[in-house]
């Protein structure tokens, strides 16, 4: 799971994540507030990442706190369900 969005779910972490995503000196606007998307990829092709929780390589619209499972799943978007993705992941 590698995110390119720092906005994420509505939570107590959202405002600090927005500040981090915009104020921290990142090389790219594609970051989860702390980690840049390209850095997270670890050499994998970004085209392998999809935005649905059933995708093996998940590119959600979540901030760093959300990808650490601190806020559960979003209600409406398949691109905001980190727990569901983890449950569906085939190891």
pLDDT one-digit tens code per residue, 33-70 = 999 999 999 999 999 999 999 999 999 999 999 999 99
Residue 8 lies in a domain: no
Distance CA 26, CA 79 (A): 23
Distance CA 1, CA 57 (A): 6
Residue 84 lies in a domain: yes
Q: Label residue 83 by pLDDT band (50, 70, 90).
A: very high
The parent domain of residue 36 ranges over 14-88
Residue 70 lies in a domain: yes
Residue 5 lies in a domain: no
Residue 66 lies in a domain: yes
How many structural domains does the chain have? 1
pTM higher than the cut 0.85: yes
């Amino acid at each position: 799971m590698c995110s390119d969005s720092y906005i994420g779910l509505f939570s107590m972490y959202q405002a600090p994540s927005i500040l981090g995503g915009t104020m921290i000196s990142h090389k790219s606007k594609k970051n989860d507030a702390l980690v840049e998307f390209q850095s997270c990829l670890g050499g994998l092709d970004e085209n392998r990442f999809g935005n649905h929780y059933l995708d093996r390589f998940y590119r959600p619209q979540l901030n760093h706190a959300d990808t650490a499972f601190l806020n559960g799943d979003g209600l409406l978007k398949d691109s905001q369900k980190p727990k569901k993705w983890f449950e569906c992941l085939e190891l």
